[in-house]
């Protein structure tokens, strides 16, 4: 996201300082990519690559600065006009729009692969979208990756540690009119907290309780058109969770496996049901007009 929405100013200053030190230590003249891990005000460097990344054109488009042209001139020793360029001390920060770069995945083509994100790179492409605020930009980005807004039902499967944080998300989804399904224990918890949810059977327990519907059948029948699956490995249902994720992907159903993304999705649906089709140039011109 650009500008950043959740990173504290203290962490941003640490990122800037680390970037300066890295560039100086390696005498870098040209594009380079640094990946940081940020938690609160703690900042760690994961890796630094002496090359342009997919973020390079994204940042160029968002800020209206051709960093590729600038980097090329720097590398060949050609002089440049530095006055209009942003710096770490004087960055260009869009005030009237938010840009979001979202990953795209090819899980349907990877037979039997577990469609859950880990540390390794899994995306096979990216999209960039823009909006007046974070929720509009986020919803556009999701739709651009092929994500379909659910129209019928949402299956919720979450680890117990997520429950306190997830209750507000479940309430938002229910208030937006979505029918919620959940595995038995999660369903009991949601109903006990006044969020109606229909219990369903784990794949390995299908048929054991005739009163519980089959998750796979509900997905294939179209009764469930979004799966939210936030598990951990400390559960006896590890394989069941994999089967649920794989069934969703193989059935062309939207799948969310990250809590932050799920939370933002619920907020975006609530606040930005309608999205515009304005171009990036519209936002840039509007922002420039306000500054003139």
Structure tokens at 44: 């760690």
Cα separations in angstroms, 28 against 32, 93, 109, 252: 8, 24, 39, 45
Fold that domain 150-271 belongs to in CATH:
Rossmann fold (3.40.50)
Record the pTM. Answer: 0.84
Maximal CA-CA distance, the chain: 75
Alpha carbon distance 242, 228 (integer Å): 12
Pair of tokens at residue 93: 């920060």
Domain with CATH 3.30.470.20 in the chain: 9-93
Q: Which of 63-67, 83-87, 120-124, 167-171 has the lowest mean pLDDT?
A: 120-124
**pLDDT over 60 (residue 288):** no
Name the CATH code of domain 9-93 (choices 3.40.50.300, 3.40.720.10, 3.30.470.20, 3.40.50.720). 3.30.470.20
Query: Which residues, at least 6 apart from 239, have a Cβ–Cβ distance to it below 8 Å?
Result: 204
Residue 271's pLDDT is what? 83
- Which tens digits make up the pLDDT trace of 44-73? 999 999 988 888 999 999 998 999 999 999
Is residue 291 over pLDDT 60?
Answer: no
Q: What is the pLDDT of residues 141-199, one digit of tens each?
A: 999 998 988 999 999 999 888 888 999 999 999 999 999 999 888 999 999 999 999 99
């Amino acid at each position: 996201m650009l500008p950043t929405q959740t990173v504290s100013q203290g962490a941003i200053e640490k990122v800037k300082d680390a970037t300066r030190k890295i560039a100086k230590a390696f005498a870098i003249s040209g594009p380079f990519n640094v990946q940081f891990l940020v938690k609160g005000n703690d900042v760690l460097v994961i890796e630094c690559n002496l090359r342009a990344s997919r973020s390079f054109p994204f940042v160029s488009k968002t800020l209206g600065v051709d960093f590729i042209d600038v980097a090329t001139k720097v590398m060949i020793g050609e002089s440049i006009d530095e006055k209009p360029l942003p710096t770490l001390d004087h960055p260009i920060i869009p005030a009237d729009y938010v840009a979001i770069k979202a990953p795209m995945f090819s899980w349907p083509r990877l037979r039997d692969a577990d469609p859950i994100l880990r540390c390794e790179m899994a995306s096979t492409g990216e999209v960039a979208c823009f909006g007046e605020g974070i929720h509009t930009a986020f919803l556009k980005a999701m739709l651009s990756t092929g994500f379909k807004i659910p129209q019928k039902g949402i299956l919720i499967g979450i680890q117990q540690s997520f429950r306190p944080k997830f209750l507000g998300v479940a309430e938002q989804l229910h208030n937006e009119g979505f029918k919620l399904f959940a595995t038995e224990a999660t369903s009991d918890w949601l109903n006990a907290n006044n969020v109606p949810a229909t219990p369903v059977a784990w794949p390995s327990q299908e048929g054991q309780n005739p009163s519980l519907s089959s998750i796979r059948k509900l997905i294939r029948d179209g009764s469930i058109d979004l799966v939210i699956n936030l598990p951990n490995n400390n559960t006896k249902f590890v394989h069941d969770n994999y089967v649920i994720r794989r069934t969703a992907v193989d059935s062309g159903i939207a799948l969310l496996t990250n809590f932050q993304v799920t939370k933002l999705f619920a907020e975006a649906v609530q606040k930005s049901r309608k999205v515009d089709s304005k171009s990036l140039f519209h936002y840039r011109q509007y922002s420039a007009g306000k500054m003139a």
